[in-house]
Amino acid sequence: MARRKIIAGNWKMNKTPSETVTFIKELKPLVETKEADVVFCVPAIDIIPALEAAKGSNIMIGAENMHFEESGAFTGEISPQMLTDVGVKYVIIGHSERREYFAETDETVNKKVKKAFEHGITPIVCCGETLTQREQGITIDFVRQQIKIAFLGVTAQQAKTAVIAYEPIWAIGTGKVATTEQAQEVCSAIRACISEIYDQATGEAIRIQYGGSVSASNAKELFAQADIDGGLVGGAALKPDFGKIVNYQ
Ligand code: 13P
């Protein structure tokens, strides 16, 4: 069975609540499609206005992060219940910026992934190597390790519904997109790793995105690769051009 494409924007720390409303109203007609799932992952304070503004459209709203505990003394954090209570369906987990600037580890990523599933939120699990790791030839080993830890204790049934975003760190925000061959090679290795952990059916079902300088000009070629089921888009998701990425065909 063909996997449904999923094209998600990661807004990072951009757009105020009022800018969110204006932008989503502008984007609604541009991201209309029956071919793919469209998700806008927005800053926590923008989630509620984004949900309101997206009503009646195909846009789904996601979060950019979530804590692995249900509630308690975790100043500044957002819990899974807070997200599900307002209707959030997706959450980005373990983005490289969270790992680099907010000390997230493979272990916290694993806790968050499990917690997201417990609450019926689909995690978009991020992985990807640094430039040094690529140059050292350890990309696939490194990404396999990230994936294996992220999915510890996750059932096959849950994993089938997960989304993985392969984002080489050297391609994020740099305009240096991975070649289609590089992106396909790693996405295919990730799928093989999932098949190895679970079984082939799970490997075939899981959706794997590419992220890192995705634009209206390279989306079509990237998303046409056998193991690339869409993209996680940063900078280009903040502009009307995102509509062209969603309707890349
Ligand atoms: P850019 O598309 O700006 O390179 O960012 C990619 C990214 O980090 C998405 O999560």
97 CA → ligand 1 middle, Å: 10
Question: Would the pLDDT of 1 be above 80?
Answer: no
Residue 242 has pLDDT above 80, yes or no: yes
Decide whether any atom of ligand 1 lies within 6 Å of the 10 Cβ.
yes
Tell me the pLDDT tens digit for each residue of 174-229: 989 999 999 999 999 999 999 999 999 999 999 999 999 999 999 999 999 999 99
Average pLDDT, the chain: 97
Helices first, then strands: H and E counts in the chain: 12, 8
**Mean predicted confidence (pLDDT) in 127-149:** 98
pLDDT of 32 higher than 80: yes
**What's the CA gap between 32 and 26, in Å, rounded?**
12
- Whether ligand 1 lies within 6 angstroms of the CB of 88 is answered as no
* Distance of CA 236 from the midpoint of ligand 1 (Å): 8
What is the number of other CB atoms lying within 10 angstroms of the CB of residue 155?
12
Sign of the Cα pseudo-torsion (143, 215, 57, 86, in order): positive
Decide if pLDDT at 230 tops 80: yes
Known active-site residue 167: yes
pLDDT reported for residue 8: 98
Question: Please, which residues have CB within 8 angstroms of residue 54's CB and are 6 or more apart in sequence?
Answer: 24, 28, 40, 60, 61
Tens digit of each residue's pLDDT (9 = 90 or more) over 65-91: 999 999 999 999 999 999 999 999 999
